[in-house]
Amino acid sequence: MVNVPGFNADLATLDANLTNKILPAVLGALTVKGKITGSIVMMNYNDPLQNFCPNTVPFTQTLNQHLKAVVSGFGTIVDVFGAFGGPGVPNPNICTYTWMCAAPPLGPNIHATDLGYSVIANTFAAAIPKN
């Protein structure tokens, strides 16, 4: 069960922190003598729980919409959620891109496997602005 009021409060805090603190600070660090010297490229989230708790998918989608909106004034968003298979349930990639289906001691674990990290890296590589 998802704590909707808590989710909404945390989402508002995330929006505020990214918009007012984190992204301006990163942009400032990328600015040298008034010139922006790099790009902000931020990923959205996959939903490693979606096969086990499908009601999490709309919350992940909402989080990702917020991340995309917040970063739009500063940089680009990388669609890891889509690269991991998107909102479909069952998602056939969850067991190969994460440790969710692994037996202990490796799993179940929300973190990416080597293959999952490769998918994330390739998604970033395809999205990074070319100069």
The verdict on residue 47 lying in a domain is yes
The verdict on residue 18 lying in a domain is no
Q: What is the DSSP letter of 99?
A: E
Summarised one tens digit per residue, pLDDT across range 43-65 is: 999 999 999 999 999 999 999 99
Confidence band (pLDDT; 50, 70, 90) for 1?
A: confident
**Rounded mean pLDDT of the chain?**
95
The verdict on residue 63 lying in a domain is yes
| Model pLDDT, residue 131 | 63
Whether residue 119 contacts residue 84, with contact meaning beta carbons closer than 8 Å, is answered with yes
What's the number of domains the chain is made of?
Answer: 1
The verdict on residue 16 lying in a domain is no
The verdict on residue 52 lying in a domain is yes
Distance CA 56, CA 45 (A): 12
Can you give the pTM of this predicted structure? 0.91
Extended beta strands in the chain, E state: 31-32, 35-36, 40-43, 75-78, 98-99, 109-112
Summarised one tens digit per residue, pLDDT across range 64-106 is: 999 999 999 899 999 999 999 999 999 999 999 999 999 999 9
Summarised one tens digit per residue, pLDDT across range 15-47 is: 999 999 999 999 999 999 999 999 999 999 999
Domain enclosing residue 123, as ranges: 39-127
